[in-house]
């Protein structure tokens, strides 16, 4: 009985692997991935535009990914737009999770680091898809600037909680450094079908990619630093999310300038994501 159960498990895993590979190679799945990259661009673009308006005194505000989805819902035809964005986010999350599971797509193979990053990305964007569905259904999406503080406060109360929170902070700072490396070294170009680009398109694609990755570096670094300080000082209120990181910039001595630079960078990352929807190797 035990041997039979043991033999069934590898067979099931092999079946799941084959199913995942078959799905990853279907052209329809590639379309979902590209729709997801487009949806990611829309979300970051809204965040960046609102932050630019705040930095220039035009009535904008600081928000995070959840706030961007709520902003979409308040527009004319907002429900239709949000359905499209939610479908895109869901497709992107599925694409990233399957890439994490099988380690390759139709056009390229992934390293171990790429697979871990794909897993994290899939979970984050899957959660954003759920948030969009909650907004559409009229339920409270939760989140907001207090969410990281509440979550951190809960984790800090666990045995070894400060170590866990501090470790997450260190990881986010590491992600920030990797974003800087990927941007400055233009490693993101290796994931794109650059042969399909004209010289002018490739130059523009590289420019918005570098600027956008550096803007994300600042946001990840500030978020990671906040978690690290929360763990060291045992103060959950120091934990911040994306909106909190942008607020940190706004409250600096040169706040409007710094916020404006990062906000334009986030718009650059949005444009890069939209271009990526066309040129990304799937």
pLDDT tens for each residue of the chain, 282 residues long: 455 555 555 666 565 556 656 665 666 777 878 888 999 899 889 988 988 888 888 877 787 788 888 888 888 888 999 999 999 999 888 888 888 887 765 656 677 777 888 888 888 888 889 989 999 888 555 555 555 555 666 666 677 778 888 888 888 898 889 889 999 999 999 989 999 999 999 999 999 999 889 988 888 888 888 888 888 877 766 666 777 777 777 887 778 888 888 889 889 989 999 998 999 887
What angle (nearest 5°) sits at the alpha carbon of residue 156, between those of residues 155 and 161? 80
Nearest CA to 47 among 266, 272, 217? 266
Closest CA to 40 of 110, 132, 114: 132
Q: 280 forms bridges with which residues in the sheet?
A: 192
3-class SS of residue 192? strand
Backbone CA torsion sign across 281, 127, 38, 59: negative
Domain edges within the chain:
14-279
Neighbours of 195 (CB within 10 A): 7
**What is residue 57's predicted lDDT score, i.e. its pLDDT?**
81
Strand, helix or coil at 185?
A: coil
Q: What is the pLDDT of residue 189?
A: 93
Sign of CA dihedral 92, 94, 100, 103: negative
- In the numeric block, which tokens belong to residue 72? 């979409």
For residue range 204-245, list pLDDT tens digits in order. 999 999 988 998 888 888 888 888 888 887 776 666 677 777
pLDDT tens-digit series, residues 25-44? 666 777 878 888 999 899 88
What is the predicted pLDDT for the residue at 54? 85
Between the alpha carbon of residue 215 and those of residues 84, 129, 154, 175, the distances in Å are 26, 23, 30, 13
Token pair of 36, please? 């997801």
* pTM flag (> 0.85): no
């Amino acid at each position: 009985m035990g041997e039979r159960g043991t033999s069934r498990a590898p067979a099931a895993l092999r079946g799941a692997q084959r199913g995942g590979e078959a799905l990853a190679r279907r052209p329809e799945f590639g379309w979902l991935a590209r729709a997801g990259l487009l949806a990611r661009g829309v979300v970051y673009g809204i965040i960046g535009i609102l932050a630019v308006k705040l930095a220039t005194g035009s009535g904008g505000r600081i928000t995070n990914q959840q706030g961007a989805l709520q902003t979409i819902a308040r527009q004319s035809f907002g429900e239709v737009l949000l359905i499209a964005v939610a479908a895109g986010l869901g497709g992107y999350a599925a694409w990233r999770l399957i890439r994490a599971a099988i380690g390759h797509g139709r056009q390229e193979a992934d390293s171990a680091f790429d697979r871990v990053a794909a897993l994290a990305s899939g979970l984050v964007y899957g959660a954003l898809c759920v948030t969009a569905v909650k907004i559409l259904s009229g339920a409270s999406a939760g989140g907001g600037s207090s969410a990281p503080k509440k979550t951190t406060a809960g984790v800090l109360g666990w045995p070894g909680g400060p170590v866990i929170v501090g470790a997450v902070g260190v990881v986010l700072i590491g992600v920030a450094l990797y974003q800087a490396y990927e941007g400055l070294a233009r490693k993101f170009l290796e994931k794109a079908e650059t042969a399909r680009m004209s010289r002018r398109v490739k130059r523009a694609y590289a420019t918005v990619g570098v600027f956008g990755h550096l803007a994300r570096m600042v946001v990840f670094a500030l978020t990671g630093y906040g978690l690290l300080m929360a763990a060291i000082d045992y103060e959950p209120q120091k934990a911040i999310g994306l909106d909190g990181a942008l607020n940190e910039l706004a409250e600096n001595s040169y706040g409007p300038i710094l916020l404006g630079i990062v906000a334009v960078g986030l718009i650059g990352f949005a444009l890069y994501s939209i271009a990526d929807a066309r040129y990304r190797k799937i």
